[in-house]
Structure 1
Amino acid sequence: MQNQAIKKLSPFKKPTQQQAEIINEAMTFIQAHIHDAKPAIFVITGDAGTGKSVVLSQLFYKLQQASRKETGPLANTQNYFMVNHPELLKVYRNIAGELPGLLKKNFQRPTSLINRMTKNQAHFDVGVIDESHLLLSQPDHYNNFYGHNQLISLLKLCHVLVIVFDAHQVLRLKTYWNQERLRTLLAPYPQKWLHLDQQFRMQADNSLINWIDHFTTDRKLLPLQTSFRLHYDFRVFSDAEAMRRAIVNQNNRVGLSRIVSTTGYPSTLDGGQHFITEGHFHLPWDQYNYTAPPWAEIPKTINEVGSIYTCQGFDLNYVGLILGPPVKLSADKQKIDIDSTKLTDGESFKHRADMADPKEIEMAKVQLTLNAINVLMKRGVKGLYLFAHDPALRERLCSEYHTI
């Protein structure tokens, strides 16, 4: 997977016309504001799989080439690429290790850069942030962040930020963002917003992508056009073990195929193994990955269940998704319900002081769960396989979208 990820994010990959236009506009924006007294921010929005990371990778390479020139508006600038995702950071640093003009030290976790710059009373010129929806929006002592908001902390340390933002990929209360919150926060700063809308990851037609989007927003189960199967392998399974065997077969055939799951099963960061059991299906959750290769690149992880934390931002060829106990069919059998009492990812739903209203917290829990499902459903380039824990949902999915 690492080679595939590097190839996808290579600065030498030819961008689409839309991507090239955004890269050029970002460079123009940076040059216009690099010497301003007040920091400026360039925001790129887009759903999962629309090429946001590709744009940032190519933009940062151009930025670093310009910084090494003796003259010009960006000559001798000090710039950093940030991502608050350890698995994705490994890929970017590996890209830096293989390409001229890029240094691994220029790719950082936001907290590390904020703490170092603050301690040294230093500043930098341009920051490029992938997956900015993962930035902390409150203090987090566990991650050694003692400010109030990572985005504001970074704006105080630089001249220009370029970020990509997808509200549908917000996954934790401590990184709780939406477009309204982001626009309110950025109101005092010079800014420009652009949007990417072409889907690149999934080799699926609009019927299936639209089905996923409705499943994870208004929670409706739309009908599917039969033509979508001509381009994409979408299957619903009544048996999780049968789905696992199908994923193993695809992994043997084309590689990069894995089982993943939503929350709802035993999961505690205590160093021990925690299993997902569904009938004859019995596999452990992924463990924290201390190795350089990303989780899905490690061969033995075909015998683990991936989580949102190991898969977000990555491409798989085939993904088998288990919709866990919180994901249920509504009483009227017309839509999806999220039972927040069955959520087991305690780290994602820790209390935050600025969210005291129980209704707001409940709405946030539901939305974060739907966001995670959206991200997991859009991991597969060639195929998506589904199994639902809830018997009523499983029966509805199997009857409407064919049983395997």
Structure 2
Amino acid sequence: MSENKLTDLPVIKDYIYNTDTKNQILKYDRENKLITRYPTVYIVIDKIRKNKFKAYVGETNNIIRRTEEHLKSEAEYRTDWLELNKSNDAKLIVIAHKEFNKSLTLDIENQLMQYLVSDDAIVELNNRRSNDQDLYYTREHFQDIFKSIWQGLFEKYSEIFPQIDDITNSAIFKASPFHKLTDEQLDARDKIIDNIQRIKKNHKDDNLIIVQGSAGTGKTVLLSSLFAELNKVNKQEAYMLVNHEEQLKIYKNISSKIGLKSSFGDDIVNKPTKFLNQHPVKNALIDANQKVDIVLVDEAHLLLTQGYMSYKGKGQLEDIKKVAKVVVVVLDPMQVLKGNGYIEDDYFNNLIHKSLEDDNFIELTQQNRMMASADTINWIEDIVQKGVIGDIPNDDSYSLKIFDNVNEMYDEVKKHDDSIESLTKGLSRLVATYDWEYKSGKLREYTNSRGEKVKDFWRVKIGDDFSLPWNRQIKPEHKYKDLSWAEQRQTINEVGSTFTIQGFDLNYCGVIIGPSVKFRNGKIIYDSSCSFDTQVKNKRTLVNKKKVDISSELIRNQLNVLLKRGVHGLFIYAVDEELRNELLSKYNQK
């Protein structure tokens, strides 16, 4: 900010929220023009139970008049305000700053909602409005002003507002519908909303909109924003479907906090199989009134393309298209990890061709997760797309390291999991390709050297001195049990897989490339005999009844997912000696 460096702190005042609020403000702050005459941002907080609150965020040019409106006219037709007005515990927090103007307060309001939807203490957030602003006079001061506001809120009300890094490192924050979208994401969102209305108006049978993008291009943030935006419109609702258990928790948390519900009475956030069981295709084909309005599908590359367990159909995407008026999917074919989700080339190409023909295809290309240079991203793409290991680029903005010793890599990950030093540290984990045995729900039984039968965790073991539990086995503390794998504190002592980390960000990611990935004759190859993932090893039966081995493609996709998790850094250790030596030779040439 150079000579215009911001030094003034925000003014944060609180008042009992009731019919006497106006008198309280006039009594204590009549002469404080920042409160009474300038634009302000405000939060109405109501305690629901111990350490749990509901919140409403707003901004206004006149806090006294706006409070009177909430207390009187709005309570007549809004149940959320009626409940707040009847509360004996509600508090009005008013935030003022000498730099506030209309655009800045709208941006502050929006970012407060983004933070509060990620705040464990807030269980209900009543204002879902999103008012991202473009450029304005004080835009360059926005981040500094917001950080000082949040720090002030934390210092005054720490039971409600946690430290800023606890928010920004949370999985729900990274998927929040209140993120400021990039120009590419905004253009995509506008086009999708327009296309949805066109399809509904024309009652089109070609009701599929496809958003394609590789890992880290912001597909989830775009879809989360759409989820909140589409559900604002009266007499319209958008379901959110995702097959990934960890991501499902995040969307359920978001929908609960901002009060999104289905008119059919089922969960507005669900897994595809459960959704289809609650909305049978045969009912929708008989009665068009049984069709749901809009279905959004995150991680659509995880949809089943054949029957599996309680799903009896032949393809979830085709079934979803039959029970919804409009379907919006985001996908990346290079994140298909299971044989029962394998997309045959002809089917996929036909989908893309048809969506292009109908102008219903959108591609995201901007890398939003990895804070790396284009050269670094291209280096990773060459590994997963071409199977070649190029020269490792110098990148001052991203930490890319190759290790000869897995324990040294683990030490580096643990060092970066310390959240005290800076916001770029914390939320760092070890992950690995699925090359070690694991069975969910039970411990490993084996006979030890003394002939005794004992039980232990399933483990990732490398050599004689590296052994860590594998995939969600250490029991979390109660307060962490509903968080995603990466957010649970004990998982720094585990190794995760693609199935625990897909769709999530890590600040620093240590990737153990297991023995299923090898380097031979100048190329990376994939050896399914070293994989313990049965969905990789089993042959896939195609539409033409031919059985094919797709293991190399699926293992490559696993590697692709793991290498693109790190926001600020990627650390790599390869079990295969030839692969490790090739990576180290490129690293040592830097």
Normalised by the size of structure 1, how large is the TM-score? 0.89
Q: CA deviation at 1:100?
A: 4.9
What is the root-mean-square deviation of aligned Cα atoms in Å?
2.3
Alpha-carbon deviations, 1:41-65, whole Å to 9, x = none? 1101111000011111111211100
Aligned residues: 386
CA pair 39-117 structure 1, distance change in 2 beyond 3 A: farther
1:274 lines up with 2:448 in the alignment? no
Structure-2 residue corresponding to 1:261: 432
Q: How does 1:187-266 map to 2 (within 5 A)?
A: 192-226=360-394, 228=395, 230-253=396-419, 254-266=425-437
Q: CA deviation at 1:79?
A: 2.5
Structure-2 residue corresponding to 1:167: 333
Code of the aligned partner of 2:205: K
Code of the aligned partner of 2:503: G
Structure-1 residue corresponding to 2:73: none
What CA distance in whole angstroms lies between the structure 1 residues aligned with 2:359 and 2:530? 41
Q: How does 1:65-80 map to 2 (within 5 A)?
A: 65-66=232-233, 68=234, 76-80=235-239
Q: How does 1:212-361 map to 2 (within 5 A)?
A: 212-226=380-394, 228=395, 230-253=396-419, 254-269=425-440, 271-272=442-443, 273-279=457-463, 280-287=465-472, 291-330=481-520, 332=521, 334-354=522-542, 357=546, 360-361=548-549
Structure-1 residue corresponding to 2:224: 57
Aligned mate of 1:390, from 562, 576, 579: 576
Task: Indicate if the aligned counterparts of 1:50 and 1:198 stay in contact, CA closer than 8 A.
Answer: yes
Q: CA deviation at 1:255?
A: 1.2
1:399 lines up with 2:570 in the alignment? no
Code of the aligned partner of 2:227: F
Q: CA deviation at 1:217?
A: 1.5
What CA distance in whole angstroms lies between the structure 1 residues aligned with 2:580 and 2:541? 38
Code of the aligned partner of 1:376: L
Alpha-carbon deviations, 1:110-147, whole Å to 9, x = none? 11100011189332011001110000000002xx1000
What CA distance in whole angstroms lies between the structure 2 residues aligned with 1:392 and 1:22? 43
What CA distance in whole angstroms lies between the structure 2 residues aligned with 1:126 and 1:210? 36
Structure-1 residue corresponding to 2:348: 182
What CA distance in whole angstroms lies between the structure 2 residues aligned with 1:42 and 1:397? 40
Task: Indicate if the aligned counterparts of 1:65 and 1:101 stay in contact, CA closer than 8 A.
Answer: no
3-state SS in 2 of match to 1:159: strand
1:109 lines up with 2:271 in the alignment? yes
Code of the aligned partner of 1:328: K
CA pair 353-50 structure 1, distance change in 2 beyond 3 A: same
Higher mean C-alpha deviation, range 43-52 or range 282-291: 282-291
Aligned mate of 2:241, from 55, 78, 82: 82
CA pair 82-181 structure 1, distance change in 2 beyond 3 A: same
What CA distance in whole angstroms lies between the structure 2 residues aligned with 1:51 and 1:335? 30
Structure number, greater radius of gyration? 2
Task: Indicate if the aligned counterparts of 2:431 and 2:562 stay in contact, CA closer than 8 A.
Answer: yes
Q: CA deviation at 1:102?
A: 6.3
What CA distance in whole angstroms lies between the structure 1 residues aligned with 2:529 and 2:364? 36
Alpha-carbon deviations, 1:229-286, whole Å to 9, x = none? x111111111111111111111124210100000222223352231111131100111
What CA distance in whole angstroms lies between the structure 1 residues aligned with 2:542 and 2:334? 21
CA pair 399-171 structure 1, distance change in 2 beyond 3 A: same
Aligned mate of 2:213, from 46, 61, 64: 46
Q: CA deviation at 1:287?
A: 2.8
Question: Percent of counterpart pairs with the same letter?
Answer: 33
What CA distance in whole angstroms lies between the structure 1 residues aligned with 2:459 and 2:172? 32
User: Which of 1 and 2 has higher RCO (CA within 8 Å, sep 6+)?
Assistant: 1
Code of the aligned partner of 1:313: G
Q: Which runs of 5+ in 1 are unaligned?
A: 69-75
Q: Which runs of 5+ in 2 are unaligned?
A: 1-165, 284-289, 420-424, 444-456
What CA distance in whole angstroms lies between the structure 2 residues aligned with 1:397 and 1:187? 38
Task: Indicate if the aligned counterparts of 1:172 and 1:349 stay in contact, CA closer than 8 A.
Answer: no
What CA distance in whole angstroms lies between the structure 2 residues aligned with 1:180 and 1:201? 31
Structure-1 residue corresponding to 2:66: none
Task: Indicate if the aligned counterparts of 2:281 and 2:323 stay in contact, CA closer than 8 A.
Answer: no
Task: Indicate if the aligned counterparts of 1:2 and 1:293 stay in contact, CA closer than 8 A.
Answer: no
Structure-2 residue corresponding to 1:29: 195
Q: CA deviation at 1:325?
A: 0.7
Task: Indicate if the aligned counterparts of 2:260 and 2:268 stay in contact, CA closer than 8 A.
Answer: no
Q: CA deviation at 1:204?
A: 0.7
Q: CA deviation at 1:311?
A: 0.3
What CA distance in whole angstroms lies between the structure 2 residues aligned with 1:343 and 1:298? 27
What CA distance in whole angstroms lies between the structure 2 residues aligned with 1:374 and 1:186? 22
Task: Indicate if the aligned counterparts of 2:171 and 2:487 stay in contact, CA closer than 8 A.
Answer: no
CA pair 357-180 structure 1, distance change in 2 beyond 3 A: closer
Task: Indicate if the aligned counterparts of 2:518 and 2:527 stay in contact, CA closer than 8 A.
Answer: yes
Q: CA deviation at 1:339?
A: 1.3
3-state SS in 1 of match to 2:418: helix
Structure-2 residue corresponding to 1:124: 292
What CA distance in whole angstroms lies between the structure 2 residues aligned with 1:186 and 1:21? 19
